[in-house]
Chain A
C-alpha cells in the first residue's frame, strides 16, 4: 500500500523537517485553567532566542552610550550609596569595604529590577506582534528578562575587577552563583508576568512600576546588611526573594558570613508561589490580549 503519497507532493523541499505534517490542531474556547503547552514552548525556542537577540541588538544600537549603560547604573548607585550610607550614615557592611558590599548586591538587583521593568512594559509595547502573529505570548516578557543577562555579565565583570582591587578572593561557594542568578531571574520573571498582564488591563500600572521597584530596593538589604535584623525575623525577611539572592551573592563572592541557608529556601518558595500565580494570571489575560492591546 502506498502511504502518504499526498504528503510527498506537499513536502517538496528536500531535508525539510516536517514530521508534524498531519498534525491536527483544535482551536476552541478555553475554559478554566489553561496550562502552557511545553512542547509548543520548545518548538518556539528559536523565536525566544531571536526576541532576546533583537532586544539586545536594538538597545545597544539605539543608545548613545550602548554597553556603558550596563555599568553606569549600578556603579553610580554604588558611588551614591557608598557616600551616603557607607561614609555618612556609617551603615555596617559585614566586614567588607562598603563599596563592594553594596555593588555585589546592586549587580543582581539591577538585573532583577531592569528585567522587571522591561517585562512589565513588554506586552503593551508590542501590539504589532500580538495582533498580527501567533506565538506563545509568554515569550515576550521572558525575552525581556533574558535580555538583561547581557547587561548582567558586563556589570559582573566590573564586580570581578573590584574584587581584585579590594583583594577579595571568591569562596568555593561561588559554585552556587548560577543558582542564585537563576533565582533572581525567576523572581524577575514572576513579578514581570504579573505586571505585564496587569499593565494590559490597567494602563496606569506602568506608573506604579518605578515606584514599586524603588520600594522593593529599600526592602532588600542592598544598602544595608540583613544581619541588622534579629535572627528569627531574618527567615521571614526571605519572603522577599531578592533578600536571598542579594545575601547569597555576598556570601558566595565576598565570603561574608551570612550564609543564607534557610532564608534561601523561604525565598525560593516565595518565588515559586509568585511565579505560579503570575503564570495563571498571565494565561487569563493572554486569552483576550489581542483584543485589548
Chain B
C-alpha cells in the first residue's frame, strides 16, 4: 500500500439538522425546558434539540467515504453544493472531527479553505502577512525569508506599510492569496478559493498552484470550476450526498458529473419545477446541446454548427426577458457570451408558459477542446437575474484532419479560444503556399 499521502477509510460525518438550523441555544431555553419537562432526557451534545426524534434529524454530510491519494497526486473533488466536499476538506484539515471511520495524512498539511483568514483591517500589509502566515502554519523565519517574494507576487510593494483597510478589494485579495501561494506544505488542501479575483490574477494563482503540484506535492482541490479541475488534476472524485459516486481520470469524472442530474453532458433537465433554478418569474427546465439532424451531441465536428436549446417556464407574466448563454473553455477562459436578440421578443412582455430559446453556434468558429456552456435569464426592468447556471452542459469540439478546417493540414497546437475559418489570399505568384 505504502506510498499514500492521504488515506480515507469509511469516513463519515453526521450533522444533526438541529445543529444546523438552530445553531446555538440559550441557557434560558435549556433552563426553561428543564423546568417544563424535568424528566425528559436531554441530548448532551451541542445543538441537540430535546424531545425530537433523533433519526429524522440526522444528516450524513459524508458517508462511508474511502479512497487514497498517492504521494504527489493532484486530486479534484467535485460535486454539487451540499455534496460534502467542504466537509471532507474540513475533516482532512482537522477543523472538524469525523463521526465515523478515519483518515490518515502523511506529512505537513496546509489548508486553504479561505483566502485571508485572520486578516485584520487595522493591521498593515506587512503585519497581516506575518499573522496570516502564522495562521496557515508557517514559521516566522519562513515568512521572513519569503517576504519579498510574497509582496512582489501580490504587487502591493508601495502599500506594504498601509493598513489593509485602505486597500482596494483586489489588492486585499492579491495579498491574501500571495501569502497562501507561498505555503509549502507536503499536502495542500484547497477549497474553491479561486472563484474570486480578477481573471489575470486567477491565472497567476493557478499557475503558481501548478508549479506547486509540479514539485511533487499532494494537492486536494475542491472546486465548481470544472475547467480548472480538468486542467489541474489528473484525477477527480465525485461526491453526491456525502458518498463517492465516481473516482477516476479527471476528464471522465467531470463528464460523469455533468451527466448526473437526470441527463447527460449534452442534456440537463430539471423535472421538478420547485427545485429548478429560477425565481418568481421564470424557472429553468432544460438545457440541450443539439447538432445537425436534431441529434443530441456531446461532441461536434469543428466545421459543423450546433445549437444550444434552453427550455424554461415563465410563471409570472408581464416581464421582458433576456435569455443568455456563455461558453468557457477548459482553462476557464470565457470564449464568448451571447444573449437572445430574436426581434419577435424584443421589448415584449412574455405571457406565462413554456419557452425554448435556441442559439446557433456556427461551424468553423470555436477552437477544439472542451467547451462548458452556462445559461442564464435576466429580467429587464427591474433588472433581475432570474437564474444563472455555469457549466450546465459541455461538449467536445473535435478538429478535422481533412484539411478543410481552419487547421488545414497543420498538425501542431493552435492557440486561442476561437478558430474561425478566415479568408486568406496570397498574391504575387502562383505556387504552393501549402507548407507544414
Chain A contact residues, CB within 8 Å of chain B = 6, 9-10, 12-13, 16-18, 20-30, 46-47, 49-50, 53-54, 57-58, 61-62, 128-135, 198, 200-205, 208, 285, 287-288, 290-292
Contact = CB atoms under 8 A, between A and B. Distances in A.
A28 B103 CA distance: 6
Which 8 A/B pairs are nearest by Cβ-Cβ distance? Answer: A28-B102, A202-B27, A50-B134, A134-B94, A132-B114, A27-B103, A290-B96, A204-B26
Interface of B: 15, 19, 23-28, 30, 45-47, 71, 90-109, 111, 113-114, 117-118, 120, 122-123, 127, 130-131, 134-137, 139-140, 142, 163, 184, 186, 215-217
Nearest to B191: A132
A6 B215 CA distance: 11
A25 B99 CA distance: 17
B217 A10 contact: yes
User: By DSSP majority rule, is chain B's interface helix, strand, loop, or mixed?
Assistant: loop
A287 B19 CA distance: 13
A29 B98 contact: yes
Contacts of B127: 54, 57
A292 B130 contact: no
B46 A29 contact: no
B15 A133 contact: no
B215 A12 contact: yes
A58 B97 contact: no
B44 to A, nearest CB: 9
A22 B54 CA distance: 41
Given A47-B134, A61-B122, A22 B106 contact: yes
B30 A202 contact: yes
Given A25-B104, A27-B94, A204 B28 contact: yes
Contacts of A130: 95
A203 B99 CA distance: 25
B106 A133 contact: no
19 contacts: A9-B215, A10-B217, A16-B184, A27-B91, A27-B103, A46-B140, A50-B131, A57-B123, A61-B122, A128-B114, A131-B113, A132-B114, A134-B93, A201-B46, A202-B26, A202-B30, A205-B27, A288-B19, A291-B47
B136 A133 contact: yes
Contacts of A16: 142, 184
A24 B104 contact: yes
Given A135-B135, A288-B46, A288-B47, A129 B216 contact: no
Nearest to B215: A12
A62 B122 contact: yes
B111 A292 contact: no
Contacts of B71: 6
Most buried by A among B15, B107, B136: B107
Contacts of B105: 24-25, 27
A131 B117 CA distance: 10
Nearest to B29: A202
Nearest to A9: B216
Given A50-B130, A204-B27, A288-B19, 12 more contacts: A9-B215, A25-B106, A28-B98, A58-B120, A58-B123, A128-B114, A128-B117, A129-B135, A133-B113, A202-B25, A285-B46, A288-B96
B135 to A, nearest CB: 6
A120 to B, nearest CB: 13
Contacts of B217: 10
A291 to B, nearest CB: 6
A130 B117 CA distance: 10
Given A21-B186, A24-B104, A200 B24 contact: yes
Contact of B111 (A17, A53, A128, A133): A133
A18 B96 contact: no
Contacts of B215: 9-10, 12
Contact of A29 (B25, B99, B130, B131): B99
Contacts of A54: 118, 120, 123, 127, 131
A129 to B, nearest CB: 6
Contacts of B122: 57-58, 61-62
Contact of A200 (B46, B109, B117, B118): B46
Most buried by B among A28, A198, A203: A28
A67 to B, nearest CB: 16
Nearest to A54: B131
Nearest to A285: B46
Contacts of A28: 98, 101-103
A143 to B, nearest CB: 11
Most buried by B among A20, A23, A46: A46
A210 B142 CA distance: 42
Contacts of B102: 26-29
Nearest to B44: A284
A30 B107 contact: no
Contacts of B114: 128, 132-133
B21 to A, nearest CB: 12
Contacts of B134: 46-47, 49-50
Nearest to B185: A18
A132 to B, nearest CB: 4
Contacts of B98: 27-29
B118 A129 contact: yes
Contact of B45 (A12, A57, A203, A288): A288
A50 B129 CA distance: 11
B92 A132 contact: no
A134 B24 contact: no
